Amino acid sequence: MSTALIVLAAGKGTRMKSEMPKVLHPIAGAPMLIHALRAGAALEPQRIVVITGHGAEAVEAAAIDHDPDIQTARQEQQLGTAHAVAQARSALAGHEGNALILYGDTPFIQAETLERMIDARRDHDMVVLGFEAADPGRYGRLVMNGSALERIVEFKDASDQERAITFCNSGVIAADSHVLFDLIDAVGNDNASGEYYLTDIISIARERGLTATAIACDEAETLGVNSREELAAAEMLFQARARAEAFEDGVTFYAPDSVYFSFDTVIGRDALLEQNIVFGPGVTVESGAHIRAFSHLEGCHVARGAIVGPYARLRPGTELAEDVRVGNFVELKNAVLDTGAKVNHLSYIGDAHLGAASNVGAGTVTCNYDGVMKHHTEIGAHAFIGSSTMLVAPVSIGDHAMTASGSVITQDVPEGALALARSRQVNRPGLARKLFEMLKQTRDKREKGAV
């Protein structure tokens, strides 16, 4: 059955004390909203509507940047969760099938949990996601009768008996799209908050003879973020989960707590991760690659058998083929290194392609930027770049070619050629000794003068 997602993201998040809308605060390098959307994407939704309000323009831009097919609808005034869902009506006009409501500030919902909800929809008109709360606090309470959900009561409106219930509402609800909007039409705001509660649709559905149930998930999945402290806690929780998943996938760590992942990091089996590594967004590390200590990687792909670091920086567009070596204090940006290429020490390689088994000596720089435009450097297979070569791009070095150390290469080097682009050395016999003497005398005179 086809599914549409409605993601509520209009709330202000006052307790974040931020100029930025709450749902745009990042966890593991992606806005919370994107985490929710990624979980929902597992259902292969036909339509996605994000309800925006506070900071609407920024939230809409982030949503569309993530997926240009996302629709957005504005909730000008935040009159409650049912009112928020009502704003999705025209975006979902003509949609046949499920509607699933998610919160943009609940980033840990698992795709598999949402799939269980959609499965449960086969036997029930309404499916609510609940959780056993360690501290039920101010959550809405799920009033069950066996497996049937009778109604949801908000904390503010609950009796003492109802407040004793520990099975709580996560806010995630699935129902047929037409049924959902019909029910929402019937929701009023005669309650302790004067808000249109989405939760009221359950009792209205039951009165109309529809069935409702609740399925349970782990409380950690429903964790919402309301303050900076909770944001930091969410980040730690994300990292702990990512490390646990990596262990499960067969990754070796020397110091797991010092390795930080992004929301989309992919690490293959038998990869070895040393201490203090940061993975920015968009990194794939294949099986058996070895990332050494204090390396920072983003937007790159590391093939099997490659060794990176210690102290390497891989920036977006970097592609390392099998058995590549990237050593200490090397920065790579938009650089493709073919099999067995080596850049081992203190180099900057940007906007470049290095052929197989090429070797770049210490302190080499691709001078890729002229102050206005970026230019490409091409290095052939088995080429040897002498230490401290400046490659002034655009420039190309042929296969099996060499550059002499300290060269400033401004012209292409043909295949097999040796390029020498530095001034010739001159030795002046005895001149160093004389110079030392002169300098010492000058120093001694100055020191006497100072006394």
Contacts with ligand UD1, residue ranges (CB under 6 A): 8-11, 51, 53, 75, 78-81, 83-84, 103-105, 139-140, 152, 154, 168-171, 197-199, 224
Task: Tell me the C-alpha distance between 344 and 359, whole Å.
Answer: 8
Whether 269 contacts 252, CB under 8 Å: no
Closest to 140 (Cα-Cα) out of 106, 163, 169: 169
Tally of CA atoms within 13 A in the half-sphere of 193 that contains its CB: 17
Task: Tell me the C-alpha distance between 219 and 132, whole Å.
Answer: 6
Task: Tell me the C-alpha distance between 54 and 340, whole Å.
Answer: 52
Task: Tell me the C-alpha distance between 152 and 139, whole Å.
Answer: 10
Cα dihedral 28/34/38/40 (nearest 10)? 140
Q: Is 178 one of the annotated active-site residues of the chain?
A: no
Whether 253 contacts 246, CB under 8 Å: yes
Whether 47 contacts 4, CB under 8 Å: yes
Task: Tell me the C-alpha distance between 7 and 9, whole Å.
Answer: 6
Question: Which residues are CB-contacts of 281 (< 8 A; sequence separation ≥ 6)?
Answer: 29, 30, 262, 263, 264, 298, 299
**Gyration radius of the chain's alpha carbons:** 31
Cα dihedral 338/254/296/386 (nearest 10)? -50
Task: Tell me the C-alpha distance between 273 and 250, whole Å.
Answer: 11
User: Based on CB atoms, which residue is closest to ligand UD1, 50 or 259?
Assistant: 50
| Choice among 54, 345, 375, 400 that is catalytic | 345
Catalytic (active-site) positions: 345
